[in-house]
């Protein structure tokens, strides 16, 4: 039997070269699954993504997904892609095994936590308060630079990274501190500001968009205190779940989140297309 991909919709292509197209995974002429291919990531048309890969229940555990993924890589090569990314749900052991078997390397993960019924207690002398307008202007400038640098580290050009950072912050915080649902707070220890946290509603819960400890105050447990403050803020708004994203290489942050009870919801992988 031959497993192939068959387009299920016309190719969508932008003037900048980005492409998307849905495909059916077929064994001979029979549909056994589907996936979406895209090269419209922030990295430009040379980085592709395999999305929504799913095989019908009766055809699972027969290697259909693996062959479908390999065929998808060939399509992306034909599009001029040199790198491919895929996100695998944490509750898909087969998908995780397949990603590793095909040579994908994890670069980040999405994590979430069911919040406790009662707000966590902050240590004595440690308090959170709303960010002031003046503090917001300083924070925003630094946050845009830090966010852009994180994309530059991942291969985006400096120009594209700073443009993306400005656009993303404008979209998420169109009214600054007054943006509905957005919450930005400052953590103080013994009256001294030591860090900041930004969270907002996303999906069915709250999402931590940014958490920063001042360089001179790191290594004193304030990262944990900021996360506890974020949980208190989320609970005050009626949220029962909080989510976040962390790069796998950020070992201290990953260890902190795991120790606080956050568990992976999705693993994000990538590999070079040779």
Return the CATH superfamily for domain 116-239: Gcn5-related N-acetyltransferase (GNAT) (3.40.630.30)
Same fold, 3-81 and 116-239: yes
**How far is the CA of 200 from the CAs of 4, 24, 179, in angstroms?**
42, 37, 10
**Taking residues 228-253, what's their average pLDDT?**
95
Q: How confident is the model at residue 151 (pLDDT cuts 50, 70, 90)?
A: confident
Antiparallel, parallel or unpaired: β 12-13 and 105-114: unpaired
CATH of domain 3-81: 3.40.630.30
The tokens for 96 are 């995780």
pLDDT surpasses 80 at 41: no
Q: Please report where in the chains the tokens 């360089």 appear, as a residue.
A: 215
- Confidence grade of residue 42 (pLDDT, cut at 50, 70, 90): confident
Q: Say what the pLDDT of residue 16 is.
A: 78
Span of 49-63, 118-132, 150-164, 235-249 with lowest mean pLDDT: 150-164
In the chain, domain spans: 3-81, 116-239
How confident is the model at residue 182, as a pLDDT? Answer: 95
What would the mean pLDDT of 110-122 be, rounded to a whole number?
A: 96
Q: In terms of C-beta density within 10 A (0-12 exposed, 13-18 middle, 19 or more buried), how is residue 90 classed?
A: middle
Mean pLDDT computed over 176-204:
96
pLDDT at 204: 87
Q: With 70 as the cut, is the pLDDT of residue 1 above it?
A: no
pLDDT band at 104 (very low <50, low <70, confident <90, very high): very high
**Burial letters for 230-247: b for 16+ Cβ neighbours within 10 Å, e otherwise?**
bbbbbbeeebeebbbebb
Q: Where does the pLDDT of residue 75 fall: very low under 50, low under 70, confident under 90, or very high at 90 and above?
A: very high
Cα–Cα distance between 195 and 50 in angstroms, integer?
Answer: 37
DSSP H or E run through 252: helix 251-259
User: E-strand spans in 160-204?
Assistant: 183-189, 192-202
- If one compares 31 and 154, the residue with the highest pLDDT of the two is 31
């Amino acid at each position: 039997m031959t497993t192939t991909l068959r387009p299920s919709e016309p190719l969508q292509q932008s003037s900048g070269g980005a492409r998307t197209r849905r495909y059916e995974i077929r064994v001979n002429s029979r549909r056994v699954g589907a996936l979406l291919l895209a090269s419209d990531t922030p990295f430009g048309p040379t980085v592709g993504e395999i999305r929504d890969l799913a095989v019908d229940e009766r055809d699972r555990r027969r290697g259909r997904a693996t062959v479908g993924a390999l065929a998808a890589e060939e399509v992306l090569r034909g599009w001029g892609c040199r790198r491919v990314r895929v996100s695998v749900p944490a509750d898909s052991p087969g998908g995780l095994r397949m990603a590793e078997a095909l040579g994908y390397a994890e670069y980040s993960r999405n994590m979430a936590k069911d919040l406790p019924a009662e707000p966590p207690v902050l240590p004595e002398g440690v308090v959170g308060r709303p960010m002031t307008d003046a503090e917001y202007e300083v924070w925003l400038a630094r946050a845009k630079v830090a966010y852009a640098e994180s994309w530059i580290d991942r291969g985006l050009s400096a120009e594209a990274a700073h443009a993306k950072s400005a656009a993303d912050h404008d979209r998420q915080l169109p009214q600054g501190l007054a943006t509905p649902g957005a919450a930005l707070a400052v953590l103080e220890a013994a009256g001294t500001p030591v860090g900041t946290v930004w969270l907002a509603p996303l999906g069915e819960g709250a999402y931590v968009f940014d958490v920063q400890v001042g360089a001179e105050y790191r290594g004193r447990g304030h990262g944990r205190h900021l996360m506890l403050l974020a949980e208190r803020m989320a609970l005050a708004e009626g949220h029962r779940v909080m989510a976040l994203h962390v790069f796998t290489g950020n070992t201290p942050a990953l260890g902190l989140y795991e120790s606080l009870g956050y568990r992976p919801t999705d693993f994000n992988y990538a590999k070079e297309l040779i």
